[in-house]
Each structure stands twice: as C-alpha cells, then as structure tokens.
Amino acid sequence: MDTKVALDLGSAIALGIAAFGSAIALGIAVASAMGAIGRQPEASNKIMTSMIIGCAFIEAITIYVLVFAFMYAGK
C-alpha cells in the first residue's frame, strides 16, 4: 500500500468516525437539554446557552478532522 493511499484511507475513516461520534454526541446533548427544559422551563435560557456552547465544541472536533483530512490529501 502506498503512503498516499494510506493517508487518504485513514483520513476518510477518521472523518467518518468523527462525524458519527459528533452526531451521537449532539443528539444526546440536545435530548438532555430538552428534557431539562421540560423539567424546569424557567431555566431555559441558561440551559439553552450551555447547550449551544457545548454543541459548538462538539462540532469543532469534526471540523478539525475535516481540516486535517484536507491537509493530508495534498501530500
């Protein structure tokens, strides 16, 4: 196996795993936040703010993997 093929295959697999993990984590985070808002509607602003910040961090992981995949695709 050539080094370029290994990098391309590894990048694709890493991106797939990161996207799958990110989707699962986002689903859990949003479901938990909606459950918390259902239990305490008066705290919805604080819960929603925390959820949005957490979702941004979760999505950042997938974006980092995508950037690395593009970086290694050129080598």
- Is residue 75 over pLDDT 70? no
User: What's the total number of domains in the chain?
Assistant: 1
Cα→Cα distances 23→33, 43, 45, 52, 56, Å: 15, 25, 23, 14, 12
- Is residue 4 over pLDDT 70? yes
Q: Which amino acid, residue 12? A: A
Summarize pLDDT for 27-66 with one digit per residue, the tens.
999 999 999 999 999 999 999 999 999 999 999 988 998 8
For residue 53, the domain's CATH number is 1.20.20.10
What is the predicted pLDDT for the residue at 24? 96
Residue written as token pair 């961090």: 57
Please give the structure tokens belonging to residue 50: 């925390």
